[in-house]
Structure 1
């Protein structure tokens, strides 16, 4: 790593947001400043930083980490974009979205509106990336899993692109103090996520980028049956070259797609074990696609005959429980009678089919 340079003071007007910020999708981080700004104000607690700077001034012990933009006198802030947003809003370099009255109030009340800020200027972005790995993955200001995965991808492409893949994963693991299989799984999960995102998440209902819990995806591909179903060679198949779109759509629909009540088929990470069993059985997969009930599909994993027996046993237990509860039910009505008649008729139909098959033997 290059020798750590000393801080110097730069005008905030010379500083721009990082177009490769791992915290945001590429289309936001490299997009228009007003889009970046609204994202930061909404999700990144910029207002709190503005209040702090407005009262106390800028803390010299937290210099921004920057790299000079190629062919210009501008600098990209690789570490400290929220602070940059707060500074530019306070000193008027960025226009405040009109509907955000709280921000206007903070600006009006601010005693300090710095136009200069301490920065550490690095010669190469990759030197800052290594520092970020320590600070935000192994350090005290941890990023979320998706931001970590984006960071690992950047570091891989900027620093280790020329190395064999196995060595890439080992070196990335050393950079963040982790294991190479963890790094590989994160990168594989990100590749799957990006594939789905490029397909607009297959237009599945209830899926939003913000609502996706990335760790569910990386945990899912840790199950061999699920990675096989997707077409992955393993959970560290970072290229995902053989992944089929329809299979990826299936997995996203089961894990992330929501019904009108906001429920998903895989309700939590503990259910991924059941999903892994389901995807290994075609009858179970067909049932899951048709019914959307993971518990029912899981019954099919041992074959239709076992599932049928278990379903009959479960139905009998519930009917027994209803019979035992009946004496304590003070009011019964016609709807109860209709429901029981429906169950009776359905039972007769099932019995008739079974009897017909036995008679044919």
Structure 2
């Protein structure tokens, strides 16, 4: 019987930062890269600096040094083909053997947990990196050689391969206390499901396996995977600028939860959707782009979102997409409230506006007598009389 935590403890060693690379496959970084597989270490460190506040980590490091109680997790990136982890069942002997490879400079590593710390240390200790990013003047740094030495050699827990770490990351960042933001959780879920698919499992089996590992009995992981597939289709099929989706990923989930928006997009509910096919057909691609633009805006065309509040996805937009007249109005005028007022049809809209006007005039009657002979108000009332005559003429 095997399970995620089975076996001896993993070896732990202090490893020099120069032997540790930032993770090219980190699910939190991939969306920020045009070609993740071609991203350099500088590209990855730049993304972490610009989007994940490594400065805060660096400030702590230059002030306090590295806390050994918080090792990072790494996997070998380069290792001699003759070296086999299973040949060392004792973790202390495995650690000793790995140290030999380190001393002989025949191994290096990729960090799979601790990318922010790794990139912060590299920026503190490497002047050329800071200069390449143009941040040398203000990024935290220190001339204290003891601190530089301390943060340059950091405690690392060493796993044999990336797949072995997946369970730990899932429990830590999806079910645990240090939860990732919504997009990162979905990206991680998708990556682990893809790992299971490569083993020959079906999508349904893969999702169930990830549920077991993470300890989630709900349909949360299936929803995350489906929403992430929507994200990928927006990126790949629509060529939509997905940066706003990354930053507010949960809004895409809210939209998918609406039955009427799903109908507008031509997709099934979570429990019925065919995960082996694309979610959005080519016939519905324009509708998909409309929904994304209404919710997130469009950076490429400078269109702003029509939503002022996420609650309006359910309370307002979900009703608008039911009526062709309302959709056309929203596309033409980008006025969500105006489109919503038309959800009951043109006659109901006209009746509502006339009722509103009647109530406003009744309210005005209560204190109009106080402003007798006011030329400006008389002019406004005259204009109203003309409008009423025109309305009546059109109705007769």
TM normalised by structure 1 equals 0.83
The one of 167, 181, 186 equivalent to 1:130 is 167
CA distance in 2, matches of 1:333, 1:312: 25
| 1:311-350 to 2 correspondences below 5 Å | 311-321=353-363, 344-350=385-391
CA distance in 1, matches of 2:29, 2:157: 23
> Is residue 196–residue 206 contact of structure 2 (8 Å, CA) maintained in 1?
no
Deviates more, 1:306-315 or 1:82-91: 306-315
SS at match of 2:201: coil
CA distance in 1, matches of 2:17, 2:136: 22
Cα displacement (A) at 1:271: 1.3
> Is residue 16–residue 77 contact of structure 1 (8 Å, CA) maintained in 2?
yes
CA distance in 1, matches of 2:222, 2:197: 14
Cα displacement (A) at 1:322: 5.3
Question: Which of the pair has more CA radius of gyration?
Answer: 2
TM normalised by structure 2 equals 0.76
SS at match of 1:69: strand
CA distance in 1, matches of 2:379, 2:30: 55
Greater relative CO (CA pairs within 8 A, separation 6+): 2
The one of 84, 88, 93 equivalent to 2:118 is 84
SS at match of 2:173: helix
Alignment length, in residue pairs?
349
CA distance in 1, matches of 2:375, 2:154: 76
Cα displacement (A) at 1:81: 0.6
Structure-2 change in CA distance of 1:301 and 1:116 (3 Å) = same
1:271 equivalent in alignment to 2:312:
yes
CA distance in 2, matches of 1:16, 1:27: 18
**What residue is the counterpart of 2:294 in the other structure?**
254
**What residue is the counterpart of 2:83 in the other structure?**
none
Q: List per-residue Cα deviations over 1:306-329 (Å, max 9, x = no partner).
A: 222222222333444456576789
Cα displacement (A) at 1:148: 0.5
CA distance in 2, matches of 1:228, 1:314: 33
Structure 2 residue runs without a partner (length 5+): 81-106
> Is residue 227–residue 235 contact of structure 1 (8 Å, CA) maintained in 2?
no
Cα displacement (A) at 1:212: 4.0
CA distance in 2, matches of 1:303, 1:288: 14
**What residue is the counterpart of 1:173 in the other structure?**
211
**What residue is the counterpart of 1:214 in the other structure?**
249
Structure 1 residue runs without a partner (length 5+): 356-361
| 1:300-311 to 2 correspondences below 5 Å | 300-311=342-353
Cα displacement (A) at 1:144: 0.5
CA distance in 2, matches of 1:345, 1:64: 77
Q: List per-residue Cα deviations over 1:108-153 (Å, max 9, x = no partner).
A: 4675113222212212212212111111112121110001000000
**What residue is the counterpart of 1:12 in the other structure?**
17
Q: List per-residue Cα deviations over 1:213-265 (Å, max 9, x = no partner).
A: 11111011011111121121223534434442201111012111179999632
> Is residue 127–residue 136 contact of structure 2 (8 Å, CA) maintained in 1?
no
SS at match of 1:112: helix
1:223 equivalent in alignment to 2:258:
yes
Deviates more, 1:81-90 or 1:92-101: 92-101
